[in-house]
Amino acid sequence: MDEDQFDEVIRDLPESFNAPPPPPLDEMWGVIEDAHFNLPQSTSISRGSFFSTPWLAAATLLVGIGIGALIPRAKAPATVQPPVAQAVPVQDTSAVADVYRDQTHQYLGQAAALLISLPAKDGSKTADSAFANKAADLLVTTRLLIDSPAASRDVKLRSLLEDLELVLVQIARLRNERSRSDLDLIHQAVEQGDVLSRLNSAVATTQSSE
C-alpha cells in the first residue's frame, strides 16, 4: 500500500471503521430514566452500591452514636437547671457549633492530606491498604458531618462532603480490589469535582472562623 492509498484509507475511516447502527434511543432512555429520575435526587448510582453494603449499617450506627453523644450535651443543662433554661441553650448551641467546626476543620485537613498523597498511578499494595484504611476511617466522619447541623446550614460544605464521600468509598475499595483503572477513576472523580481546590478553600474557611 502506497502513501496515496493510505491517505485514502484514513479519509474513508468514518465510513469504513465500526460504522454504528441506529441507536436504540427509547430502550436506553428507559434505563437512564429509571436509574436517575426514579431515585431520590441526592442518591447517585455509585452511592447506591455503597449503601447496599455493610458500610451503611456501620456508618449509620456511628452517626447515631455521634449525634447522640453531642445532643445531650446541648440539652441536659436545660433540664437540670430550669431557671436558666433560656440562656443555657444559646451557650450550648455555640459549644456544639464549636465542636462541629473543630471536627470539620480536622476532618477536612485529613481528607486533603489523603487526596494529595494519593499515588498518581502505581502504588504498592501496602500503601493502597493504608490509604484504604484511612479512607474508611474518614468515611464514618464524612457521614456524620453530612448529617450534622454544620452541613445542613452550609450548602457548599454539604456538597463537598457528598463528593468526598464518593471519592473515599472508591479509595476504601482499594483494600479489596486494586487496579490502575481504579486509581484513574479516583483521580478523575477528584479532578472532575474540583474536589481538592474546594477542599483547600473549605479548610481555609474553617480555619479563619476559629
Partner 1 sequence: MNEAQLIARVIQGDRLAGRALYDMHAPRVFSLAYRLSGDPEKAREFTQDAFIRAFSRLSQFRGEAAFSTWLHRIVVTVVSNARRNELRFGREVALDEAQSIETSAAEAEPDLKESIERAVNNLSEAYRTTLILHDVEGYTHAEIAVMLGVPEGTCKSRLSVARAQLREALAAFKE
Q: Tell me which residues touch partner 1 (CB under 8 A).
A: 1, 5-6, 9-10, 13-14, 16-18, 20-21, 23-25, 27-29, 31-33, 35-37, 41, 44-46, 159, 163, 179-181, 184-185, 188, 191-194
Least separation, in Å, of the C-beta of 12 and partner 1? 9
Among candidate residues 160, 114, 113, the one with its CA nearest the CA of residue 136: 114
Least separation, in Å, of the C-beta of 210 and partner 1? 29
Nearer Cβ to partner 1, position 9 or 95?
9
Nearer Cβ to partner 1, position 74 or 190?
190
Q: How far apart are CA 32 and CA 122, in angstroms?
A: 34
Mark 110-128 as b/e (b = at least 16 C-beta within 10 Å): ebbebbeebeeeebeeeeb
Nearer Cβ to partner 1, position 130 or 185?
185
Q: How far apart are CA 192 and CA 182, in angstroms?
A: 15
Least separation, in Å, of the C-beta of 40 and partner 1? 9
Instruction: Transcribe 36-63 into DSSP letters.
Output: HTTS-TT--HHHHHHHTSHHHHHHHHHH
Least separation, in Å, of the C-beta of 43 and partner 1? 9
Nearer Cβ to partner 1, position 9 or 71?
9
Nearer Cβ to partner 1, position 46 or 106?
46
Q: How far apart are CA 69 and CA 103, in angstroms?
A: 14
Q: How far apart are CA 198 and CA 159, in angstroms?
A: 10
Least separation, in Å, of the C-beta of 99 and partner 1? 29
CB 164: neighbour CB atoms within 10 A? 30
Residue 81: phi and psi, rounded to 5, are: -125, 75
